[in-house]
């Protein structure tokens, strides 16, 4: 990461509530050709939190989802912290309380494009995570009730990237997977694993435009993962903020988007 930070843009996409089993099945079926570029694959990892606020607070401190195999696992980013067993030679270390602040000190313009309610800036709590960034954006059409939410979010990303020439750390919280998602499955009247999968296919249809926007600038490291999963009736549970396997187990990948700026 010490060779990446400063030479690449950084894109962090959290697919809110996306379950590992659904993500893996859709990828295995060849239904995510845009979300997972050639060579990219999902890793099975554990979330650092069981709901959006907790998971993102950890991610923004450098604690991305952890591989399920025995560790310790060196991290990509880490705040200065004496005794850390996951800070290694390849870890980019920042002397700041959070990753956006650390990257800002390294010359990055930090941008948050929110999705679910913890990014809506309508309350003090909904302003806490967006407040870590130099600029943040949220509109009702970015939220969970708009079937075209990701398209609206990418439209805003295009506007931001067009006016920021320097290095960018762009964070996008994709709300489309979160309940309600039944409107992505024709004829459905309630949310289910099938509509969750249909929402993921909706994301796949549009995410390529975001990748293309990043490719037009400079090389970009893209980190794409879920913040946590969610239950659809397993053991009687519905939703998240619970210690269930389907909540803790999430998909993760990262890859480099090579620049097309000179083409």
The CATH number of whichever domain residue 239 belongs to comes to 3.40.720.10
Please report the pLDDT score of residue 260 as a whole number. Answer: 79
Sign of the alpha-carbon torsion through 192, 195, 196, 197:
positive
| pLDDT < 50 positions in the chain | 262-263
CA dist 42 and 50 (Å) reads 19
Helix, strand or coil for residue 192? coil
Please report the pLDDT score of residue 238 as a whole number. Answer: 87
86 part of a folded domain? no
Kindly report the number of other CB atoms within 10 A of residue 66's CB atom: 18
Of the candidates 6, 8, 4, the residue with the CA atom closest to the CA atom of residue 220: 8
29 part of a folded domain? yes
119 part of a folded domain? yes
Q: Tell me: the pLDDT tens digits for 75-101? A: 999 999 998 999 999 999 999 999 999
13 part of a folded domain? yes
Under a CB-based contact definition with an 8 Å cutoff, are residues 34 and 208 in contact?
A: yes
Of the candidates 126, 91, 94, the residue with the CA atom closest to the CA atom of residue 107: 94
Please report the pLDDT score of residue 239 as a whole number. Answer: 80
Of the candidates 167, 255, 170, the residue with the CA atom closest to the CA atom of residue 217: 167
CA dist 243 and 208 (Å) reads 33
81 part of a folded domain? no
75 part of a folded domain? no
Please report the pLDDT score of residue 261 as a whole number. Answer: 64
Domain total in the chain: 1
Helix, strand or coil for residue 120? coil
Please report the pLDDT score of residue 245 as a whole number. Answer: 95
Please report the pLDDT score of residue 246 as a whole number. Answer: 97
Please report the pLDDT score of residue 262 as a whole number. Answer: 45
Domain span including residue 180? 9-68+98-257
Please report the pLDDT score of residue 160 as a whole number. Answer: 98
Please report the pLDDT score of residue 229 as a whole number. Answer: 97
76 part of a folded domain? no
58 part of a folded domain? yes
């Amino acid at each position: 990461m010490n060779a990446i930070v400063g030479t690449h843009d950084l894109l962090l996409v959290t697919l809110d509530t996306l379950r590992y089993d659904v993500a893996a099945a859709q990828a295995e079926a060849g239904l995510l050709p845009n979300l997972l570029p050639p060579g990219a694959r999902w890793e099975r990892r554990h979330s650092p939190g069981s709901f959006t606020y907790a998971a993102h607070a950890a991610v923004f401190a450098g604690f991305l989802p952890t591989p399920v195999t025995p560790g310790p696992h060196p991290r990509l980013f880490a705040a200065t912290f004496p005794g850390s067993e996951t800070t290694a030679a390849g870890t980019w270390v920042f002397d700041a309380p959070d990753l956006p602040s650390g990257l800002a000190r390294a010359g990055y313009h930090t941008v948050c494009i929110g999705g679910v309610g913890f990014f809506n800036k309508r309350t003090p709590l909904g302003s806490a995570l967006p407040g870590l960034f130099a600029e943040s954006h949220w509109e009702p059409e970015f939220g969970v009730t708009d079937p075209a939410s990701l398209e609206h979010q990418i439209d805003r990303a295009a506007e931001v990237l067009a006016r920021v020439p320097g290095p960018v750390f762009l964070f996008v919280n994709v709300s489309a997977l979160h309940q309600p998602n039944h409107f992505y499955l024709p004829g459905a009247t309630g949310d289910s694993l099938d509509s969750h999968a249909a929402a993921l296919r909706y994301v796949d249809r549009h995410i390529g435009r975001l990748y293309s926007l990043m490719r037009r600038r400079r090389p970009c490291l893209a980190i794409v993962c879920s913040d946590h999963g969610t239950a659809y009736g397993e053991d009687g549970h519905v939703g998240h903020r619970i210690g269930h396997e389907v909540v803790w187990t999430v998909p993760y990948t990262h890859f480099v988007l090579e620049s097309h700026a000179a083409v």
